[in-house]
Chains A and B, each alone.
Chain A
Amino acid sequence: MATPDAGAAMQPNSEASRMLIATGIMAALLAAAPFLGVYPVFLMKALCFALFACAFNLLLGFGGLLSFGHAMFLGTAGYVCAYSAKSWGFPPELAIALGTAASALLGVVVGALAIRRQGIYFAMITLAIAQMIYFFYLQTPFTHGEDGIQGIPRGKLFGLFDLSHQLTIYYFVLAVFLAGFLLIYRVVHSPFGQVLKAIRENEPRAISLGYDADRYKLLAFVLSATLAGLAGALKAIVFQLASLTDVHWTMSGEVVLMVLLGGMGTIFGPVVGAFVIIALESYLAPFGQWVTVITGVIFVVCVLAFRRGVVGELAAWWKARGG
């Protein structure tokens, strides 16, 4: 798996401030985007998936663990949020919180089971559990199966902000995304993040240094699951819909692609990857038949020739310039 530049571990001030400036630019662009003519619903979809991809990247890029069942967190939070908002009348902030908590809980259970194994076995256990959860959701009545939970009310955030206005909900989504993004950034550049990277590079050595590798991996897994859940719950409120697509294994594959394309182990990579893939799907919607094929081609090209992803390649090029 691609490794981020070792120099980042030292965190000299210039590195940190460059990151913050980049984040600031990203936030400013996103805040201005609706006024530049970009369709807000498209942006919100991209932001939710960007959060999902960032959460996944935490586990894959920084933790070195490929989970092939992350859709279960996206979907579980979506369903719980949807059900509580629609059938129990929860206000949006509570519904989203409940959904996220549900995914966190699921993350603890699945993580405890899966962490003990490595590599392909870890991936297979997560896939197997995700499949079981998919079939569970397919059959239980509360999800309405193939129809999904529809007509979820957007409600009033904190009783004050009416989320049925497009701009209001857009800034809410942007705020949540930025919060999640910054959280991940802090985690990665913290002592916890350093140990995680050490474990990814050489687990036996980390253990010999006294670190409980399993506990760190589990923590990373749960954090990743929680943030993926946050993305899912948010998406349910934005689209007023929670469906089986979000728990299907192809969704797990899609997030892998976003991270791979954007750049594994980079902070901005998943965001870029998510935006590119969502834009591609939007653009290709009239030619729906070609979406799968093109997705496959991108996978193949990335694996063969573009392993560092967009952001990774850009960073390498910048470095080569001596920047």
Chain B
Amino acid sequence: MKLFKQSLIAVAVAGTLAAGAVQAQISDNLIKIGVLTDMSSLYTDLAGAGSVLAAKMAVEDSGIEKRGIKVEIISSDHQNKPDVGSAIARQWYDTDKVDVIVDVPNSGVALAVNQITKDKGKAFLASGPASSDLTGKACSPNTVHWTYDTWMLANGTGSAIVKTGGDTWFFLTSDYAFGHALERDTEAVVLKDGGKVLGKVRHPLNTQDFSSFLLQAQASKAKIIGLANAGGDTTNSIKQASEFGIVKGGQNLAGLLVFLTDVHSLGLPIAQGLIMTNTFYWDQNDASRAFAKRFAPQDKGIHPTMIHAGVYASVLHYLKAVEALKSDDGTKVVAKMKEMPTDDPLFGKGSIRVDGRKIHPAYLVEVKKPAESKGPWDYYKVRTTIPAEQAFRPLKDGGCPLVK
């Protein structure tokens, strides 16, 4: 019966809002944030419980509850499956009165949530997924894409590496849509900047043994071996590359999608020399260090990855917009978020474009040698900074219908 009553209220509220409510109001006097993340498979450490924590910290730091607006955070595990994720999103919007969904570190799930959020007029702060389609052909007035995307990764890493001398490439690609997209985008950048692609090999998803592929990479004598894969495939290929003496033999590995937690699980002796692009590193400045100091003890010692930072920053900005508007109507709040420039301790000053893309600088980082590191989690040195305007795909190139 409780569910029935809740559905009645939900219908009544939805009806009121949909009928073009006279004055903007916060539904049920409560902002309900749903952190939809991966708590049981590949991305547990780089997102997972840490994302929920980041959202909580954002709510605390915004001070919004002291000013009379109540906020509640719930979370769930999409297990990296689009059907599980979309079912949870539907139920959250339909019966649990969630106003905004956050995180979603999986592009397949994110695309589904993106569609459902648009259909129901809520808000989606996509701080976890990679697909650049979220601000391209699938762009929506209800979605903000924070942190990173495949275009930025490909261009950031590819371009910066070629410009610093890594001009011959060999690709080790995961044989599915995401891997292909990453390889295609990076190859385009490498060629545009005057580099050459000497070869590529596609490996099946979730491969245990990369020895034969690494052998081919070695034989190509390319200066850079681009890893267009993710998760376990990336860590396995890096580990085995070390075993086969690839880095010692003078070739460098470029990780096209690598997170701080991946480096941690590999250990510096194996991961040293790896080059990648991130948009946040906990040891960059005082503000990020202060954040990490609060974050790590509450997340089993894990230091914040850029995904965690994205959750924090997007929730903070969302709450600012809600407070300014005095409404949690998804479409209106996202519009307000695009109107207001962003400013948070982790990404600094930035803005959100009309296609939903959040702009901020990106950093090309290299993994330190063991001797250079002062302790656990001290893993990166920043090689170059890519300014915000160059880091992300130009507005006109995305094919987003919202861009006129």
Contacts and interface: CB of A to CB of B under 8 A. Distances in A.
Q: Specify whether A and B are partners.
A: yes
Interface of A: 36-39, 41-42, 45, 135, 138-139, 141, 144-148, 150-151, 239-241, 243, 245-246, 282, 285-289, 291-292
Interface in B70-116: 74-79, 81-84, 86-88, 90-91, 94-95, 106-108, 111-112, 115
Given A241-B86, A287-B77, A292 B40 contact: yes
B176 A239 contact: no
B175 interface: yes
How many residues of B sit at the interface, in one of the four size bands? 35 or more
A292 B112 CA distance: 24
B178 interface: yes
A289 B80 CA distance: 12
B3 interface: yes
A139 B174 CA distance: 10
B177 interface: yes
B83 A288 contact: no
Contact of A145 (B86, B94, B176): B176
A245 B2 CA distance: 32
A81 B91 CA distance: 24
Nearest to B88: A285
A239 B95 contact: no
A145 B206 CA distance: 14
Contacts of A145: 176-178
Given A39-B3, A41-B87, A288 B79 contact: yes
Contact of B81 (A36, A41, A144, A245): A245
Contacts of B4: 36-37
Contacts of A138: 175-176, 204-205
A239 B83 contact: yes
Contacts of A135: 204
Given A146-B177, A288-B40, A289-B77, A239 B87 contact: yes
B175 A146 contact: no
B1 interface: yes
Contact of B39 (A36, A39, A289): A289
Contacts of B86: 239-241
A286 B74 contact: yes
Contact of A243 (B1, B7, B82, B107): B82
B41 to A, nearest CB: 9
A148 B84 CA distance: 12
B107 A147 contact: yes
Contacts of A241: 82-83, 86, 112
Contacts of A41: 87, 90-91, 94
A45 B87 contact: yes
A38 B86 CA distance: 18
Interface string B134-146: 0000000000000
A37 B8 CA distance: 10
Given A39-B95, A41-B87, A286 B76 contact: yes
A148 B107 CA distance: 10
Contacts of A285: 76-77, 84, 88
Closest 6 CB pairs of A and B: A288-B77, A37-B4, A145-B177, A147-B108, A145-B176, A289-B40
B81 A243 contact: yes
Contact of A146 (B78, B115, B178): B178
B107 A146 contact: yes
A151 B91 CA distance: 17
Contacts of B115: 150-151, 240
A289 B176 CA distance: 26
Contacts of B82: 147-148, 150, 241, 243, 245
B106 to A, nearest CB: 8
A286 B79 CA distance: 11
A245 B91 contact: no
5 contacts: A37-B3, A45-B87, A138-B204, A245-B81, A288-B76
A245 B106 CA distance: 14
A39 B87 contact: no
Given A139-B176, A291-B40, 11 more contacts: A37-B1, A41-B94, A45-B87, A146-B107, A146-B176, A146-B205, A147-B111, A150-B115, A285-B88, A286-B74, A289-B77
Of listed A38, A239, A240, A241, residue having the most chain B CB within 10 A: A241
Contacts of B131: 147
Nearest to B77: A288
B97 to A, nearest CB: 13
Nearest to A146: B108
B177 A150 contact: no
Nearest to B115: A151
B177 A286 contact: no
Contacts of A292: 40
Contacts of A139: 175-176
Contacts of A151: 115
A178 B300 CA distance: 50
Nearest to B133: A147
A288 to B, nearest CB: 2
Contacts of B178: 145-147
A243 B108 contact: yes
A117 B111 CA distance: 43
Nearest to B108: A147
